[in-house]
Amino acid sequence: MTYTARRLADMLDGEVSWLSVRTASALPGPEWVSCAELLNDQLAGGDPTYGWRKALLDDYGREYNIEPPLQVAAMFVLLWYVSVPSMIAGISTALTGVSPDVSPAALAFRKHPTAHYPTEVALLSDKTVSLEEAVIQVDEHTRAFTDSYRPGVKISSHQRRGAVEDELRGAFKVPEEAVHAATAAEAFGIRLDQETRTSCCFFYALPNVTPCGGCPRIKA
């Protein structure tokens, strides 16, 4: 069966209740974030996610009446950014065995106005790629971000790359009829039976907050 980017977008849209997917020939609007532009800025030594992290920190400060730990916002922004290519490629390959182009130039996203996570994704390319190419694109795209991310607090390489694993694992489990999930997971090197997350979001560091389900800090 042949899939176009538009058809894949239609299939992906609504698979996750909080994520909308569309195709677009260019950045849909000024409030949208171009993955390519963000990465180019970061790779050049800039800090394009500073405002994103600060919005989270400001919210946590107001909600908990504290000076919030930097690592919480830093890790959530890392998780949210890598989720864009990971979720798109993961869900699509689980459903169909192929993926939209998820290279930086092919993706843009818009953040939720108050919760700050990516809630809309635009596919800017009409290209579709094989499972094998999707593996390469996700690795190169996410690695470009995780390796150059400097949020002002230490985040280990285990945490950085573990975040990508966790997002992919979650993506493969999203579709109810994920007929290609096992094959896709094997290609991406992901164990579907792993119940504990590889990375930690550090949310537990906020006052009176218990660790998330699957937190690696909780021993089985």
- Classify the C-alpha dihedral 33-35-40-43 as positive or negative: positive
- Classify the C-alpha dihedral 13-188-216-52 as positive or negative: negative
189 burial level (CB within 10 Å; 0-12, 13-18, 19+): exposed
Q: 10-residue block means of pLDDT along the chain (220 residues)?
A: 94 92 97 98 98 96 87 94 98 98 98 97 98 98 98 95 96 94 98 85 66 67
- At 4 the pLDDT is 97
- The widest CA-to-CA distance across the chain, in whole angstroms, is 55
Task: Count the neighbouring beta carbons within 10 Å of the beta carbon of residue 61.
Answer: 12
Q: How many residues does the chain have?
A: 220
How far, in Å, CA of 27 to CA of 216, rounded?
Answer: 37
Long-range contacts formed by 16-19: CB under 8 A, 24+ apart: 16/87, 16/91, 16/174, 18/112, 18/117, 18/119, 19/87, 19/118, 19/119, 19/120, 19/121
- At 69 the pLDDT is 87
Q: Please answer whether residues 200 and 76 qualify as being in contact, where contact means their C-beta atoms are separated by less than 8 angstroms.
A: no
For tokens 């690795």, name the residue: 139
Q: What is the pTM of this model?
A: 0.93
- At 204 the pLDDT is 62
How far, in Å, CA of 183 to CA of 132, rounded?
Answer: 11
Contacts of 73 (CB under 8 A, 6+ apart): 53, 54, 56, 57, 60, 151
Q: Are strands 98-100 and 107-111 parallel, antiparallel or unpaired?
A: unpaired
Residue type at 66? Answer: I
- At 203 the pLDDT is 62
